[in-house]
Structure 1
Amino acid sequence: MVVPLKQPIVFQLEGFYVPPGYGAFLFFLALLCYIVIMFANSVVLCIIVIDKNLHRPMYIMVCNLVVCDLLGATTVLPRIMMHFLMGQKKIGYISAIAQAFCVHMYGFAVQTILGVMAYDRYIAVCEPLRYHAIMTSARLHACLALAWSIAFLFIAVLFILHINSPLCGNIIHHVYCSNRGILNLACSPTPINNIYGLSMSWSLNTSIFLIIAFSYFKILHACVKQGRDDSFIRSKTLQTCAPHLVVYVLYQLATVVIIISQRFPSLSQNIKRFFSILFIIIPPALNPMIYGLVSKDIRSSIIKHFTNLYVHRKNIRVVPLCNRKQ
């Protein structure tokens, strides 16, 4: 008979298998990824906050996406670095719940924010003359608040359903804590949790996909219609919408890779677990580059601010000290 564990307990993450002598190398590799993510996203975030010309709905939404990416990366990568450097696999109950909550919050908030961004692009392309009347500051903040609130409420209910469930184990077979990893330790079956989790994920992903598909169908129709009169308008429209679509596809590809990798039993656990953190590494690392390279406004603002910083440092002169009176 399996005896339920008393809470609070300490979980042990199985993590990666680290060959002897490779811990420091893997630590610096993870640290490099984290530095790239933090630096690139922080630059985009600071530029949008500083430059008043970028205080527009599209860039404010990009700001929210950047915050979401920073949340996901910061939740997982520092603990993985501790695992590589010090072999730290233990995590307290509260920390485990917090990490799992933030990981799921990241995954769901990304979807809802991308849905709001698709709606914004649809209004901008299909209703250009009424865009500022429709996408007012109040409506923009209401849409973003709704996006964060939906993700938060869905995840909160998911964790409330099993927060007091007795656990009969403390080993999580993963590199980070998740709702599924904790539920696998439950002493008894959790059908309600499973049904809610699956229905919630399916309904949210399907809803966001339909919103984005409908938005881009209407945008494509508008581009074809506009292209008959002005090819410049069509190219400008496609250039404006391209970053959002590329980012959405990037997240979906990372998710598909995770799902497919779990279906191949011949793959080693290290490879499967590496694939499972791709959605926390690849999109946050590439998103700032996608928006920075494709968006002319962000790119120009970054170049301008860094150029001004360089010129300012170059013009600094050291004032010589006056000769002391003898």
Structure 2
Amino acid sequence: MENMTLTLHLQLSLNPFLIPSGAKYIIFFTGLLIYIFGIFCNLTLLLLIIMDHNLHKPMYFILFSLPLNDLIGISALLPKVLSDIVTENNKIYYPLCVLQGFLLHMYGGGVLFILAAMAFDRYVAISRPLHYNTIMTPRVCLGIIALVWGLDFVIIASLFSLHDKLSICRYNLMNVFCDNPSLLSLTCANTMINNIVGLFDTTIMQIVSVSVQAFSYIKILITCLSTSRSETKKKAINTCMAQLVIFLIFELVGTFTILSHRFANISVDLQKITGMLIFIVSPCLNPIVYGLNTSEVRHSFLNVFRRKIFT
């Protein structure tokens, strides 16, 4: 009980950016604008799906999870980082550090599972259009959404539950935010089990996501090649292109982040920035990509905008 109390009140030190005093507020306000932009875009997409009855379809019920997940990712990261830049505090209580790490890992897994669910929905809509309504019923749609969030939660919770068994002997994290590797660096105990579980969880998430998406897009491609209807091909390209762009951006940023930690000549600050990109780039781009490439979302936004202007 005493150890638990000590852990709850334990303060950790984050490794801050090396920022010249004159650039502190410029960086802060730039980051704040990025955060406001990301929040505004994702909230707009959420509200459009809620308020517009034309978007009350299985595709958009599943899509609803994407901006919701993006809000979790960007909000778990940027407010704390921006606050530390201004206040130069760079302190965080251990339980809040674990919570931040948990939410950031939930976000990463959520992106992979949500995009897989959306790819499956597009496969049914394009490859089996006559059976779409009988397959993608409200119950099935709700089950897919529950599976996405439930599987993500179980995998990440199993990873972070292992931290309870580790004693802490260091109090400085070599990062500007908390994640599983940073938390593991605080212990002097053997972390082999944690590393194995972390690698296993990452592999499972990637295999499930990539397999479902590969299956779905191959089936969609076969459908496009076998049909002579240009309208069907155009619809397939428009509906799938946005999801492929989002997935590729997420994977490229993630790969770049991992590689940046493998080269000794890359500065520590650059490694921190690349680590943050995965939680900033996708939340800012996802609603724009869907707003521009999905005609129903674009028309819904324009209709709302016109009503606000002319009423």
Q: Sort the TM-score into its range (normalised by shorter chain).
A: over 0.9
Match of 1:257 in 2: 256
Please tell me whether the aligned partners of residues 10 and 92 of structure 1 are also in contact (alpha carbons under 8 angstroms).
yes
Give the secondary structure class of the aligned counterpart of 2:279: helix
How far off is 1:271 after superposition?
Answer: 0.9
> Following the alignment from structure 1 to structure 2, what is the Cα–Cα distance between the partners of residues 84 and 155?
29
Cα RMSD, aligned residues only: 1.2
User: 5+ residue gaps in structure 2?
Assistant: none
1:141 aligns with 2:142: yes
Q: Is 1:234 the equivalent of 2:229?
A: no
Aligned to 2:49: 48
Q: Is 1:39 aligned with 2:43?
A: no
CA contact (8 A) 1:116 1:147 kept: yes
SS of 1:163 mapped into structure 2 = helix
Q: Which amino acid aligns with 2:135?
A: I
Matching of residue 245 in structure 1 with residue 239 in structure 2: no
Distance (Å, rounded) in 1 between the aligned partners of 2:164 and 2:120: 35
- Displacement of 1:164: 3.6
Partner residue in 1 for 2:151: 150
Q: Deviations over 1:98-141 (max 9, x none)?
A: 10110011011111111111111111111110001000000001
Query: Letter of the aligned partner of 2:128 in structure 1?
Result: E
| Equivalence for 1:296 | 295
Rg comparison, structure with higher value: 1
Task: Show CA shifts across 1:129-177 (max 9, x none).
Answer: 0001000000001001000000101111111112241110111111110
The aligned counterpart of 2:7 is 7
Matched position secondary structure for 1:11: strand
| Matched residue type, 1:172 | L
Please identify, of 9-18 and 295-304, the stretch whose mean Cα deviation from structure 2 is larger.
9-18
Residues in 2 aligned to 1:55 and 1:168: alpha-carbon distance in whole angstroms: 52
SS of 2:64's equivalent in the other structure is helix
* 1:6 Cα offset (Å): 4.5
- The aligned length equals 306
Letter of the 2:234 counterpart: S
Q: Determine if contact 1:125/1:237 at 8 Å carries over to the other structure.
A: yes
Structure 2 letter corresponding to 1:265: A
Q: How does 1:23-172 map to 2 (within 5 A)?
A: 23-172=24-173
C-alpha deviations, 1:236-288, integer Å up to 9, x for none? 11111111111111111110110121122111111111011111111110111
Question: How far is the alpha carbon of 1:63 from its aligned partner?
Answer: 1.2
| Counterparts of 2:16 and 2:141, CA distance in 1 | 41
CA distance in 2, matches of 1:255, 1:84: 24
Contact 1:124 1:131 in 2 (8 A): yes
For 2:243 and 2:185, how far apart are their aligned partners in 1? 36
Q: Which amino acid aligns with 2:191?
A: T
Normalising to structure 1: TM-score of the pair? 0.92
Preserved CA contact (<8 Å) 1:65 1:113: yes
- Counterpart of 1:266 in structure 2 is 265
Alpha-carbon contact 1:126-1:219 (below 8 Å) kept: yes
SS at match of 1:161: helix
Q: Which amino acid aligns with 1:68?
A: N
**Structure 2 residue matching 1:169: 3-state secondary structure:** coil
| SS of structure 2 residue aligned to 1:7 | helix
The 8 Å contact of residues 169 and 186 in structure 1, kept in 2 or not, is answered as yes
CA distance, structure 2, for counterparts of residue 39 and residue 204 of structure 1 = 29
Task: Tell me the equivalent position of 1:198.
Answer: 199
Cα deviation for residue 77 of structure 1 reads: 0.3
Partner of 1:212: 213
1:315 matched to which residue of 2? none
1:15–1:176 Cα contact (<8 Å) kept: no
TM-score with structure 2 setting the length: 0.96
Contact 1:119/1:215, CA 8 A, preserved across alignment: yes
Number of the residue aligned with 1:19: 20
* Separation of aligned partners in 2, 1:114 and 1:237: 16
Q: Secondary structure at the match of 2:242?
A: helix
For the residue of structure 2 that corresponds to 1:253, the secondary structure is helix
Q: After TM superposition, where is structure 1 displaced by more than 3 Å over at least 4 residues in a row? A: none
